[in-house]
């Protein structure tokens, strides 16, 4: 049986359901054996608890008892030392988001400054009659080097260079 139906049976036994729903649940309990068994078991538990429950009495009148609770609540609300910085409590709703914006701005500035500070040392020493053209693409983090011969020169054999990641490339 589903938990919701078990709660409905319990509410029916306690008399907590509206009249039309109580009638419907009562008819269902009369038809369903599992629901009837659950209702009988819950009824036995209810009787056992009511017979063996110790009576609790308050030595004061109802009005006096609740007035003591009310006075205690008022006393605790009026304690001056609870909010030592009342201005901070008022401004907190503005300061917390502002602190978040400042922190986010600092992180973005640091990232931009760090990304902009990358420099590539260009050391170009091709052999005689060679020209080297270097292109840096910061967004792709890539460097391309073109080697070409000067006019009427042939390409030398075994040209070797290294990119910024340490990869060695041999051109033959």
Give the domains, in start order, of the chain with CATH numbers.
Answer: 1-74 (1.10.10), 130-171 (no CATH)
Comparing 55 with 167, the larger pLDDT belongs to 55
Question: Count of residues for the chain?
Answer: 172
pTM higher than 0.85: no
For residues 142 and 164, what is the distance between their CA atoms, to the nearest angstrom?
8
Tell me what the mean pLDDT of segment 151-155 comes to. 53
The dihedral through the CA atoms of 41, 47, 48, 53 has a sign that is positive
Residues 45-72 have pLDDT tens digits of 988 888 888 877 778 888 888 899 999 9
Note whether 142 and 157 are within 8 A (CB). no
For residues 11 and 26, what is the distance between their CA atoms, to the nearest angstrom?
11
Q: What is the pLDDT of residue 33?
A: 92
């Amino acid at each position: 049986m589903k938990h919701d139906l078990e709660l409905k049976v319990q509410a029916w036994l306690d008399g907590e359901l509206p009249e039309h729903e109580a009638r419907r649940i009562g008819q269902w309990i009369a038809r369903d054996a599992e629901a009837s068994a659950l209702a009988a078991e819950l009824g036995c538990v209810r009787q056992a608890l009511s017979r063996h429950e110790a009576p609790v009495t308050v030595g004061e009148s109802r009005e006096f008892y609740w007035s003591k609770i009310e006075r205690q609540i008022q006393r605790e609300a009026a304690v001056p030392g609870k909010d030592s910085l009342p201005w901070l409590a008022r401004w907190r709703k503005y300061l917390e988001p502002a602190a978040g914006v400042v922190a986010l701005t600092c992180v973005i500035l640091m990232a931009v400054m760090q990304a902009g500070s990358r420099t590539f040392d260009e050391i170009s020493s091709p052999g005689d009659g060679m020209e080297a053209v270097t292109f840096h693409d910061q967004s792709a983090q890539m460097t391309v080097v073109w080697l070409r011969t000067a006019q009427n020169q042939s390409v030398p054999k075994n040209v070797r260079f290294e990119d910024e990641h340490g990869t060695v490339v041999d051109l033959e």
